[in-house]
Chain A
């Protein structure tokens, strides 16, 4: 994909360069593994401190500070520490890890090995979703090459430190992206998430051993933090929102794709970089960070006070494109998967599409989520088919409210947030659809195609 001049590429610096290939020779010609060579001579705590001081936040969804996560690892247990790279990339709207794995796998391997060395991990696993079979093969090949050069395996570069990487393929279950579900899956079980406390991975993770679970993009960043130094790295973006982020934009824009940027606004991404809405269309709403995140309505004002007490009053295009900016607008940057909904999209129908997704992907462990997600699918589906009942709008909210906060894992929020936020922002559309239920008539083909929930 062509690189936009407004991008600030660090992680994807070489990924789309003509002639850049995923093999180790190409990576090393571009300075690859030089940082690992330096790292194995460094003090482990110094590396951890650098990552902490860089303020790097997790790129997988929750945005938890990576260095702090590392510091939680229980080192007194006497058990081995495991590293798990979460490459289950399955949040609808997200396709950034795909680029790294397919185009620059050694960058990830180097990031993993540096992180494993710093945190003294005994073994690393890359959990890659089944739907990326080629990515799994590319990673296997990359690990094989890295082993031949002694970057992975026994006594790495003569340092006395040994660590192997195992590529583990999923089998098409979204819930494996949730870190404790992933761990259960890696143990050879159903991916039912574990309850926290007590099962924080840092204490009781894989095989009940301390475990670090980091996203692909997060681990790649570690290498660049050490290269630049934490202080320089932290100058990219804003404080508490440091470094670049790879945003994935899909839906109603002229130039969908992945863009690595820092310090810009949502409007600059959607209108300048992605070219704005398609010809003759307008932006109706934006789902900012993957399908689980609350929707932002175009035209509404986002007001409040920031942490320094300064008041802000933003339109959708003014929202700073980072963790805190999107949080201040009432949503989350999640995994960076941005879906743009234009004025051709009926919001209740888009919700029907997503509820089919969530009801399919609920692991079934918690009753509110298992039953509730199915109710939400059924209700939204009958809206699409012109069979809505007058009480359906209130019923949707009631069911969503009963899921939120009543489940073991965050999947409950992921189901509830779209429903609650779409209702908050577009209630009239839902009411309209529910009111017209008996005389809707007309051609519902387009709506059925968008809901796509056979």
Chain B
């Protein structure tokens, strides 16, 4: 596993923050997932060695938390809130629009490799429902038009890149 120097620096910085090393398992997994795009058995072994844990303990953490993944996703991670307030405000339509714009299915990598669209549970912004996260960016009060504009933005950024 080849990690970027900044990822390694982030890891070294995270460990001493905690009274016990094992507490750093989540920060380490966050850093590695950002670097590698996913978490593998090799990751689990590497983190275990780093923190004095068993690999199975790290794997137990990886498989428990929905955000940690053992599969690849598209370049942009789209998470549309599906919980009640967003659903009442049309979250399902937002999701359908995203899927049709990128000609893809839920949880799949779109054919152009640009996105993976998922449903997420309550994103804690129910007053501006429906909402979705595009990577770290929260988009609120969505309708079909706004959703389309976000898709266009993602596509134009993909062309530029």
A-side residues, CB < 8 A to B, are 1, 80, 89-95, 97-98, 123, 129-134, 166, 168-174, 185-191, 207, 248-252, 256-258, 291, 337, 339, 341, 345, 350, 353-354, 356-357, 360-361, 363, 448-454
Contact = CB atoms under 8 A, between A and B. Distances in A.
B90 A250 contact: no
A133 B136 contact: yes
A100 to B, nearest CB: 12
A171 B125 contact: no
B66 interface: yes
A91 B124 CA distance: 8
A93 B121 contact: no
B15 to A, nearest CB: 11
B79 to A, nearest CB: 8
Given A90-B124, A131-B124, A189-B61, A452 B26 contact: no
Nearest to A361: B121
B123 interface: yes
A97 B122 CA distance: 14
Contacts of B119: 452, 454
B84 interface: yes
A98 B124 contact: yes
Contacts of A350: 84, 88
A92 B64 CA distance: 20
A173 B29 CA distance: 15
B83 A353 contact: yes
B11 to A, nearest CB: 14
B78 interface: no
Contacts of B121: 90, 92, 172, 174, 357, 360-361
A413 B84 CA distance: 18
Given A130-B30, A170-B65, 12 more contacts: A169-B27, A172-B65, A173-B66, A188-B61, A190-B64, A249-B127, A256-B126, A339-B85, A353-B84, A354-B84, A361-B121, A450-B87
Interface string B81-94: 01111011111110
Contact of A171 (B26, B90, B92, B136): B26
B154 interface: no
A242 B1 CA distance: 55
Nearest to A290: B122
A173 B64 contact: yes
B82 A356 contact: yes
Contacts of A188: 20, 22-26, 51, 53, 57, 61
Contact of B124 (A95, A249, A363): A95
A450 B88 contact: yes
A454 B121 CA distance: 12
Nearest to A253: B127
Contacts of A169: 26-27, 30
A102 to B, nearest CB: 10
24 contacts: A80-B19, A92-B126, A93-B122, A93-B126, A94-B126, A95-B127, A97-B124, A123-B19, A129-B124, A130-B30, A134-B138, A169-B30, A170-B67, A186-B23, A188-B24, A207-B20, A250-B88, A250-B127, A258-B127, A291-B83, A291-B84, A357-B83, A450-B87, A452-B92
A310 B33 CA distance: 59
B9 interface: no
A291 B29 CA distance: 30
A130 B65 CA distance: 10
Interface in B89-147: 89-93, 106, 119-129, 133, 136, 138
Given A188-B23, A189-B57, A189-B60, A173 B90 contact: no
Contacts of B128: 256
B17 interface: yes
Interface-central residue, A171, A256, A361, by most chain B CB under 10 Å: A171
Contacts of B46: none
B78 to A, nearest CB: 13
